[in-house]
Structure 1
Amino acid sequence: MTTVTKHRPAAVIDETVRLLTEHYVFPEIAEQVACLLQQRLAESAYDVDDAEEFARLVTADLQSVNGDRHLRLKHHADPVSPEQGAATLDSIRRDFDTSLGGAPRVQLLDGGVALVELAPMLFPLEWAAEPLSAALTLASRAQALIVDLRANRGGDPDAVAFVCSYLLDERTHLNTMYWRDGERSEQSWSLPHVPGARFGGSKPLYVLSSASTFSAAEELAYDLQQLGRAVVVGERTRGGAHPCKGWTVHPHLEATIPGGRAINPVSGTNWEGTGVQPDIPCAAADSLDRAHALALARLAG
């Protein structure tokens, strides 16, 4: 059992319901979920001593109406700041410092094929621009490129656009984010200029996916796939297309609530709930060998 500051289920649920009602991208779903949480609280479904188990139970109910995997009550073993998003930011910084800035592997494979792994996430661009640029510039001279997103759990949409900018030749509309209030939308475009050298928009490009690939990593795979720029090899991804923010509702608990939804300009939809469907389905463990073989065959042809 995790030893934490004693949580009060009613107080946490009340605050989670308030945040959900005010911020969730789909107000009608927010109302349904809020009613469910209050009903489950009245039924004593959340009367557990362990805060981690409490978070698991609440998360299951939060996701039960429409399966939104970004809608969560996250448990943190260490106490976190009450400032919005601080819990997530502290964890992200630790991961950034131990993963070479999110590009832990750059390798030249046989036949002039480069591999760039982006993991465990696409970090905030103000941190990650330098390591991402270094990795992608190093790979730019390869004859073909494999981008490995199998262990990537998401991150910054600006980092998605930054990576895409190295893999395209022209400034390209990638995605549009529509926010709950219905009065704002925000377009994402690749950049007209990048630091370093581009791999470019014509050489063979493959993206590896797994059942763990999530959120912004899914956007990267989906955007490149919809543009016809990359072949996605591996497993169907988790299916989370709603950007979210986090609020600390207890020293060890953070409610993450999506406030927008992504719409791809090519497909007119997104990967929410369905995941990104690979062009070449195979087990994630086999996807690197499969993509490498495809790249070598294409280069030979």
Structure 2
Amino acid sequence: MAHMTVPLLMMLFLCTLSSNSSFQPALVLEMAKILLENYCFPENLVGMQEAIQQAINSGEILQISDRKTLATVLTAGVQGALNDPRLTISYEPNFVPVMPPTLSSLPKEQLIRLVKNSVKSDILENNVGYLRIDRIVGEETAVKLGSQLMESIWDKIAHTSSLIFDLRYSTAGELSGVPFIISYFSDPESLIHIDTVYDRPSNSTKELWTIPSIVGERYGKEKDVIILTSRRTTGTAEAVAYALKKLRRAITVGERSAGGSVKVQKIRIAQSKFYITVPVARSVSPITGQSWEVTGVSPNVHVIAKEAVAKIAEFHKGLNSLIQGAGDLLEDHYAIHEVALKVSKVLVSKWADGLYRSVVDFESLASQLTADLQETSGDHRLHVFHCDVEPESLHELPKIPTAEEVGYIIDALFKIELLPGNIGYLRFDMMADIEVVKAIGPHLIKSVWSKIINTDALIIDMRYNTGGYSTAIPLLCSYFFDAEPLHHLYSVFDRTTTTMTEVMTVPQVRGQRYGSSKELFILTSHMTGSAAEVFTRTMKDLNRATIVGEPTTGGSLSSRTYQIGDTVLYASIPNQAVFSAITGKMWSFSGVEPHIAVQANEALSVAQKILESRLLKRVQGKQ
């Protein structure tokens, strides 16, 4: 919060009454004193008392005769100046302050009735527990209730597969209940610092930690928990929701909470009938260094609070078919069929074991499916995403450029340079389709290839090439081999057509070949992917190039996007597998390991130095 400035304070406290009113300037000073001694952000009040005195002495007095209007104006001023809506001033001539007894001091029978009225539990379909708490009881109260609390409420849901924790109507509670509740969702072995509370009146700080020993059985830290929140959720309930969310122990669903306080006090201003409500303590999370106060707890999934349970239940009705649908798509299209069968079975098994009960919408389902697909298959290329608009096809036929576009394409895609020692440098950042290459071929030969063909060695820079089309790879490779014999480059199995194709060099190329004897270096980075990787790996497999740089990304030669059911979920599935022409084994999707591993930004200079040294030795050897 920003410090309250003197001009703002003067505007705020010029709201006093005329001299014939019973409301005296001393009352404003008393209000300032209460804030100085009790407000939980004392650093925001620097210079306040002096500013108020200056405002009173200035004689600029706003004539407000109605006390309630004055209270409203003062409230607006205080809240605006301190940016804190929890501060309120009220005029209550009939207010009788009552100090409610602490819950733990109440008779046991009364406590039991209170808890039964404010706590409800149930077991929903699929062994999902439901726990609603409208008033959070503290540790002392829970201990006093002992086994009765466990038997009537907790034991019903302790053994459920997952839990819906309903805090939508929770508006009161005891601070000691925060670590008490969170302890049930953690392990006793490692205690967690969950909150730090500063109390202004006592100028003291208290740390809240989970508890090593609690009554009854813990829910543990593995089973899924969904917390429901609303605009009414306030105080200690917000502290519980915030901590469990930031510990990644629960998903929050519903509305942003109220943004209350761990502790407020209603204090009478001097002997008047005006009262000021002040947040006297503040919470700071050791997990985030921030607080839920004022701003509230923002849910992971935003829905209208009263619809939260119904929406989760409705979503879960169709969840099984979506998970099975993802598995079916994998079986039909994933390049490695035996892996697809295994993953599909695991998905169904995880659903049956209740491991998808924390999923509450398409976004969380996409995240969970992606994690399970990648973990089970070991293939990081498998990906599920949600998209409200159908994604554009990534496999549309490439557009053949017009004559006017050819020059622009060549300038945009290719960069060439002659380095010292007659070393050629060729960089291109996308693998173009074979039909596009044929269309721009004459211009490409003239403006690019002819300028580096007569170099003594060549560096091909693929560090920024993230892929593209694979159809031109055989032609590109052919320039670095002799016309005869043809070379088997690699084989491709296409799951969609269930065909295996041997990819060979081509017998004829436009222009002059670079040949099979001159040295060739290829530069890579962690961005090098897809078709660029296939070219790089082929040249490495056939011992035709030295690879310098970083391991490549491990992308797909071909991935297609498939819609899961009639939903906004889509699966990106690699549908082709590439096999080495040398070993006959399928290429791993872990990327291409370079011969010489260096940082990508150093790859060019390293390759250049190695080539210069080799070429110099050859020249010296001929002398």
TM-score interval, normalised by the smaller of the two chains: 0.7 to 0.9
Q: Which of the residues 276, 284, 298 maps onto 1:277?
A: 298
Residues in 1 aligned to 2:120 and 2:54: alpha-carbon distance in whole angstroms: 46
Q: Which residue of 1 aligns with 2:133?
A: 118
User: 3-state DSSP class of the match of 1:223?
Assistant: helix
The percent of aligned pairs where both chains have the same amino acid is 25
User: 3-state DSSP class of the match of 2:212?
Assistant: coil
- What is the Cα deviation at residue 56 of structure 1? 4.4
The 8 Å contact of residues 70 and 242 in structure 1, kept in 2 or not, is answered as no
1:72 is aligned to 2:88: yes
Residues in 2 aligned to 1:147 and 1:169: alpha-carbon distance in whole angstroms: 18
User: 3-state DSSP class of the match of 1:17?
Assistant: helix
Superposition map of 1:41-56 within 5 A: 42-45=61-64, 47-50=65-68, 55-56=71-72
Q: Which residue of 1 aligns with 2:196?
A: 176
User: 3-state DSSP class of the match of 1:63?
Assistant: helix
1:24 is aligned to 2:39: yes
Amino acid at match of 1:15: E
Bigger Cα Rg: 2
Q: Which residue of 1 aligns with 2:160?
A: 142
The 8 Å contact of residues 161 and 191 in structure 1, kept in 2 or not, is answered as yes
The 8 Å contact of residues 33 and 61 in structure 1, kept in 2 or not, is answered as no
Encode CA deviations 1:47-75: one digit per residue, 9 max, x unaligned. 3255xx66544433332223324323367
Residues in 2 aligned to 1:259 and 1:186: alpha-carbon distance in whole angstroms: 14
State which drifts further: 170-179 or 23-32.
23-32
Consecutive unaligned residues in structure 2, runs of 5 or more = 1-21, 320-350, 357-623
Q: Which of the residues 165, 176, 190 maps onto 1:158?
A: 176
- What is the Cα deviation at residue 300 of structure 1? 5.9
1:227 is aligned to 2:243: no
The 8 Å contact of residues 175 and 262 in structure 2, kept in 1 or not, is answered as no
> Normalization by structure 1: what TM-score?
0.76
User: 3-state DSSP class of the match of 2:223?
Assistant: coil
For the structure 1 residues 288 and 58, does the alpha-carbon distance in structure 2 shift closer, same or farther, using more than 3 Å as the test? farther
Consecutive unaligned residues in structure 1, runs of 5 or more = 1-7
For the structure 1 residues 60 and 97, does the alpha-carbon distance in structure 2 shift closer, same or farther, using more than 3 Å as the test? farther
Encode CA deviations 1:214-253: one digit per residue, 9 max, x unaligned. 2221111000001010000011112235633343446976
Q: Which residue of 2 aligns with 1:206?
A: 226
The 8 Å contact of residues 79 and 251 in structure 1, kept in 2 or not, is answered as no
Amino acid at match of 1:218: E
Residues in 2 aligned to 1:220 and 1:21: alpha-carbon distance in whole angstroms: 29
Amino acid at match of 1:145: L
Q: Which residue of 1 aligns with 2:369?
A: none
The 8 Å contact of residues 25 and 258 in structure 1, kept in 2 or not, is answered as yes
User: 3-state DSSP class of the match of 2:242?
Assistant: helix
The 8 Å contact of residues 137 and 198 in structure 1, kept in 2 or not, is answered as no
Q: Which residue of 2 aligns with 1:4?
A: none
Q: Which residue of 1 aligns with 2:263?
A: 243
- What is the Cα deviation at residue 278 of structure 1? 0.7
User: 3-state DSSP class of the match of 1:232?
Assistant: strand
For the structure 1 residues 196 and 59, does the alpha-carbon distance in structure 2 shift closer, same or farther, using more than 3 Å as the test? farther
Q: Which of the residues 299, 307, 311 maps onto 1:286?
A: 307
For the structure 1 residues 148 and 132, does the alpha-carbon distance in structure 2 shift closer, same or farther, using more than 3 Å as the test? farther
The 8 Å contact of residues 38 and 201 in structure 2, kept in 1 or not, is answered as no
Encode CA deviations 1:182-223: one digit per residue, 9 max, x unaligned. 974311011111112222221110100112212221111000
Encode CA deviations 1:236-295: one digit per residue, 9 max, x unaligned. 112235633343446976433233322212212112332211111111122122344677
> Normalization by structure 2: what TM-score?
0.40
The 8 Å contact of residues 210 and 284 in structure 1, kept in 2 or not, is answered as yes
Amino acid at match of 2:153: A
Aligned length in residues: 285
State which drifts further: 240-249 or 96-105.
96-105
Q: Which of the residues 287, 307, 321 maps onto 1:266?
A: 287
- C-alpha RMSD over aligned residues: 3.9
Q: Which residue of 2 aligns with 1:108?
A: 123
Q: Which residue of 2 aligns with 1:62?
A: 78
User: 3-state DSSP class of the match of 2:249?
Assistant: coil
For the structure 1 residues 21 and 97, does the alpha-carbon distance in structure 2 shift closer, same or farther, using more than 3 Å as the test? farther
Q: Which of the residues 205, 230, 247 maps onto 1:185?
A: 205
Amino acid at match of 1:205: V
For the structure 1 residues 128 and 179, does the alpha-carbon distance in structure 2 shift closer, same or farther, using more than 3 Å as the test? same
- Larger relative contact order (CA 8 Å, sep ≥ 6): 1
User: 3-state DSSP class of the match of 2:176?
Assistant: helix
The 8 Å contact of residues 179 and 185 in structure 1, kept in 2 or not, is answered as yes
